[in-house]
């Protein structure tokens, strides 16, 4: 229950009881992996409280993928993961692309991702996704916690590549990556954005008795 709601154009007080249920499973056969994760996010006792898909998305396939996880691909002790299908992602310590923790629903993406990790913890990641649109947008349908399966927005592409150099420059880390979002008009007109974000970050993780810092 929230007293004196800070959001514009809302009642003074707001109330809701939120539930989020996750069920995941993954099977492996040699290097081949198949996984799925169901998410059920709903609210009750909303009364006049504003509702939206950031809190409600019932009985949805959050992840459903097939892929390969292999060892000793490029060097002894390294690992490679390639996944195809619907996925979630945390990138660069949850910068720009992240799986939602606090919010009651999570962002999903459909496409291809690659993740390589060396024995020295150097990392390379690349991905190309169609973002998944959460459906059931009508207010009364949301209040009734109705179900409509989400759909990929094939007129919007999220892509990126990420490199982490671990424990270089006096035990500090260097990461650099670029993320892009390109969209075009589909059934609904878009802003036709062409966004490209390059990032360079130099940091030392926090540790007892050691100076930590980050420059981004």
Helical (H) or strand (E) element with 140: helix 139-143
Q: What is the pLDDT of residues 107-165, one digit of tens each?
A: 999 999 999 999 999 999 999 999 999 988 788 888 888 999 999 999 999 999 999 99
Least confident of 16-30, 75-89, 181-195: 181-195
The burial of 209, by beta-carbon neighbours within 10 Å (0-12 exposed, 13-18 middle, 19 or more buried), is given as exposed
Task: Report the distance separating Cα 134 and Cα 109, nearest Å.
Answer: 11
Residue 191 pLDDT: 87
% residues pLDDT > 90 (the chain)? 68
pLDDT bracket for residue 213 (50, 70, 90): very high
Per the model's pLDDT, the better-predicted residue between 53 and 46 turns out to be 53
Task: Report the distance separating Cα 67 and Cα 32, nearest Å.
Answer: 6
Res. 7: pLDDT tops 80: no
Residue 186 pLDDT: 78
Res. 180: pLDDT tops 80: yes
Q: What is the mean pLDDT of residues 46-60?
A: 88
Neighbours of 31 (CB within 10 A): 14
Mean pLDDT of the chain: 92
Q: Name every residue whose Cβ is closer than 8 Å to that of residue 29 and which is 6 or more positions away in sequence.
A: none
Q: What is the mean pLDDT of residues 37-65?
A: 91
Task: Report the distance separating Cα 183 and Cα 145, nearest Å.
Answer: 30
Measure Cα distances from 146 to 65, 132, 137 in Å. Answer: 25, 18, 10
Residue 212 pLDDT: 94
Neighbours of 67 (CB within 10 A): 19
Task: Report the distance separating Cα 110 and Cα 154, nearest Å.
Answer: 10
Q: What is the mean pLDDT of residues 57-74?
A: 95
pLDDT bracket for residue 77 (50, 70, 90): very high
How many H helices and E strands in the chain?
A: 1, 11
Q: What is the mean pLDDT of residues 36-63?
A: 91
Res. 178: pLDDT tops 90: yes
Residue 80 pLDDT: 97
Res. 5: pLDDT tops 80: no
Residue 2 pLDDT: 83
């Amino acid at each position: 229950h929230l007293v004196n709601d800070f959001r514009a154009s809302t009642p003074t007080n707001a109330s809701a009881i939120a539930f989020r249920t996750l069920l995941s499973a993954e099977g492996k056969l040699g290097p081949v992996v198949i996984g799925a994760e169901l998410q059920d996010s709903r609210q009750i006792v909303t009364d006049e409280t504003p509702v939206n898909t950031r809190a409600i998305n019932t009985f949805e396939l959050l992840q459903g993928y097939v892929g390969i996880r292999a060892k000793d691909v490029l060097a002894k002790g390294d690992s490679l993961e390639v996944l195809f299908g619907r996925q979630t992602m945390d990138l660069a310590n949850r910068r720009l692309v992240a799986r939602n923790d606090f919010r009651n629903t999570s962002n999903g993406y459909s496409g291809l991702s690659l993740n390589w990790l060396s024995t020295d913890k150097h990392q390379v990641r690349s991905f190309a996704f169609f973002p998944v649109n959460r459906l059931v947008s009508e207010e009364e349908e949301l209040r009734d916690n109705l179900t409509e399966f989400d759909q990929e927005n094939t007129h919007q592409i999220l892509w990126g590549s990420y490199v982490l150099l671990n424990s270089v420059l006096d035990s500090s880390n260097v990461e650099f990556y670029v993320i892009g979002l390109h969209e075009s008009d589909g059934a609904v007109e878009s802003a036709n954005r062409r966004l490209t974000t390059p990032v360079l970050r130099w940091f030392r993780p926090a540790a007892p008795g050691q100076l930590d810092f980050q420059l981004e």
